[in-house]
Amino acid sequence: MKQTELPRLLWLGDSIFVHYRPYLLRFLEGVAEIETRNGYREALENLDHPRGTNCGDSSMVLAFLQHVLAKPEFKARCLVINCGLHDIKTEPGSSRCQVSLAEYEENLMAILRLRREYGLSLVWIATTPVVDARHQKHCPEVHRHERDVLAYNAAAEKLMRADGVPVLDLHRFTSCLEGELYIDHVHYTEEVRALQAAFLSGHMERIFEGKESAVAQPDAVGEGCEAQRIVLLGDSTVAKLPADSGIRGWGEALHHSLPGWEVVNLAVSGASTKSFLDRDEYAQAQSTPAAYWLIQFGHNDMKEYDPARFTDADGAYRENLRRMVADARATGARAVLVTSPHRLRYDAAGVPTDELLPYVKAVRAVGAELAVPVIDLYAMSEDLLCGFGPEHSGWITATDKDDFAHFTPCGAQVIAALVAKELHALIAAGK
């Protein structure tokens, strides 16, 4: 997405935002300038009491906006807002929320009037789930209930949709995550915070500069294609894997970050470009109307010990990619090449290893040769591995099983969100 100036966002939220904020800044670095309410360290001192970057309930958010928007130095052109967790707080034994549902709706309508008055774009983020029993056990002095989360989210979505404002469903996304999610009554583990930030950043490029409708109603693309459909071709790092395996391919999680799109995952565990061309799944791809083919191979092409799958990076591998691109175009789909993610292992110095680099370079070269977009998952996964390091990479990689290729369920969600972010930009650009 080419821009002479990065979009400036004012991002306001509660303690959930305070926690995923560092990851969000990392994922959107070089993409957007993000401003928040001052006082990040102050907010961390007590997450249950709104202060600093923790903006609290909808009344507090509204009051802050009324104050800051009137300042001549205010420069952001897009507001990204979540509030709800503080609104629904009740005293034990009482059903009266801190901010009633009617007051909540009034506050949101006032926020919508402000955004129109100042000519701003707005993105709304749904409030995250509450597990009643867990919450009341860990926080007996203040209660929250999932029924109120659902009611307040429904009210917010109705108001926002009516005003043409996109809603990012962080509630649904978080509900889909597996494993131990919480560290206390409402706050999440480091892994979940990174996932939430990846999910949100994966949506944002489509809605910068007032392009909200791109999220609510994705544009149809792909000549001759009637379906909002994406076909995935690849190996086990993309494929749907057995539920009890403990590992996931990123393709299984992609639909969470692509609202309005059908994802047809034809990736096959163990496949290389050589072996996949002869499979029924490849014939199925050619008979499936789709807007895009996402093509990612490499992990098995590099296996010299297996002649049924091995391809030379500068020979048959490139030829097979060219054939897939041509076949995608023949069906009316647009081909997108995806570089393989890193092998998810580190050398003695703590640097990700580069066994796959010849195949990555081949993908980039074929993309340039055929004018095909390339999603550089190799580079993006390297950024993640470098950022978290060997000591913190276990939540994204399956290295505890001596498995240096596959992702944990959390890791697959992050990778899928990063792929979706790049794909959103291609869709918006009509590529």
Which pLDDT does position 219 carry in this prediction?
32
Question: Where do the DSSP E strands lie in 297-423?
Answer: 334-338, 374-375
Cβ-based burial of 232 (10 A; exposed 0-12, middle 13-18, buried ≥19): buried
Task: Identify any residues that bridge with 35 across adjacent strands, giving them in sequence order.
Answer: 10
pLDDT in tens, 10-68: 999 999 999 999 888 877 887 789 999 999 999 999 988 999 999 999 999 999 999 99
Q: In what order do the strands lie in the sheet with 8-12?
A: 33-35, 8-12, 78-81, 121-125, 167-168
Flag the least confident range among 80-89, 148-157, 160-169, 379-388: 379-388
- Confidence at residue 225, expressed as pLDDT on a 0 to 100 scale: 44
Residues 82, 124 contacting (CB under 8 angstroms):
yes
Q: Quote the pLDDT of residue 401.
A: 54
10 Å Cβ neighbour count for 429?
Answer: 11
What's the confidence (pLDDT) of residue 223?
Answer: 42
Q: How many CA atoms within 13 Å lie on the side-chain side of 277?
A: 18
Cα distance between residue 201 and residue 208, in whole Å: 11
Q: How far is CA 248 from the centre of its chain?
A: 16
- What does the block give as tokens for 431? 């590529």
Signed CA dihedral, 286, 235, 220, 427: sign only: negative
Backbone angles phi, psi at 289, to 5 degrees: -60, 130
What would the DSSP string read from start to end of 172-208?
HHHHT--S--BSSSS-B-HHHHHHHHHHHHHHHGGGG
The model carries a pTM of 0.61
Q: What confidence score (pLDDT) does residue 394 get? A: 60
What is the Cα gyration radius of the chain? 23
Q: Is the pLDDT of residue 216 over 50?
A: no
Q: Determine the Cα–Cα distance for residues 354 and 346; give it in Å rounded to an integer.
A: 9
When pLDDT is averaged across residues 368-387 and rounded to a whole number, the result is: 84
Among 60, 87, 80, 208, residue whose Cα is nearest residue 153: 87
Query: What per-residue confidence (pLDDT) applies to 354?
Result: 85
* pLDDT of 258 above 60: yes
Q: Where are the beta strands (DSSP E) in 256-351?
A: 262-265, 292-296, 334-338
Query: 219 — phi, psi (to 5°)?
Result: -75, 145
188 in Cβ contact with 196 (< 8 Å): yes
pLDDT single digits (tens) 261-303: 899 999 999 999 999 999 999 999 999 999 999 999 999 999 9
Count other Cβ atoms within 10 Å, centred on residue 308.
11
Q: Residue 234, SS3?
A: strand
- Using CA atoms, how far apart are residues 277 and 330, in angstroms rounded to an integer? 15
Tell me how many degrees the CA angle 244-395-358 measures, rounded to the nearest 5. 95
In the block, residue with structure tokens 């507090």: 60
Residue-level pLDDT at 14: 96
- With CA atoms as reference, report the closest residue to 337 among 321, 358, 354: 321
In this structure, the dihedral spanned by the alpha carbons of residues 294, 295, 300 and 304, taken in order and rounded to 10 degrees, is -160
Q: Pick 195 or 384 by higher pLDDT.
A: 195
pLDDT digits (tens, 9 = 90+) for 72-112: 999 998 999 999 999 999 999 898 999 999 999 999 999 99
Q: Give the model's confidence band at 256: pLDDT under 50 very low, under 70 low, under 90 confident, else very high.
A: confident
pLDDT, residue 209, reads 39
Please name each of the domains of the chain with its CATH number: 8-214 (3.40.50.1110), 223-429 (3.40.50.1110)
Judge whether 199 and 173 are in contact, CB under 8 Å.
Answer: yes
Instruction: Please give the mean pLDDT across all residues of the chain.
Output: 86
pLDDT greater at residue 8 or residue 155: 155
- In whole angstroms, give the CA distance from residue 11 to residue 13: 7
Determine the pLDDT at residue 39: 93
Distance CA 90, CA 142 (A): 6
Average pLDDT over residues 177-181: 78
- Smallest CA-to-CA distance from 168 within 286, 256, 95, 249 is with 256
Instruction: Please determine, for residue 213, whether its predicted confidence score (pLDDT) is greater than 50.
Output: no
pLDDT at 308: 95
Per residue in 313-348, pLDDT (tens digit) is 999 999 999 999 999 999 999 999 999 988 777 777
One DSSP character per residue, 20-46 reads HHHHHHHHTTTT-EEE--S-HHHHHH-
And the tokens for 208? Answer: 């910068």
Decide: 100 and 58 in contact? Cβ < 8 Å. Answer: no
CB 55, CB 43: distance < 8 Å: no
Q: Which of 59-68, 210-219, 304-313, 391-400 has the lowest mean pLDDT?
A: 210-219
CA 296 to centroid of chain Cα atoms: 19
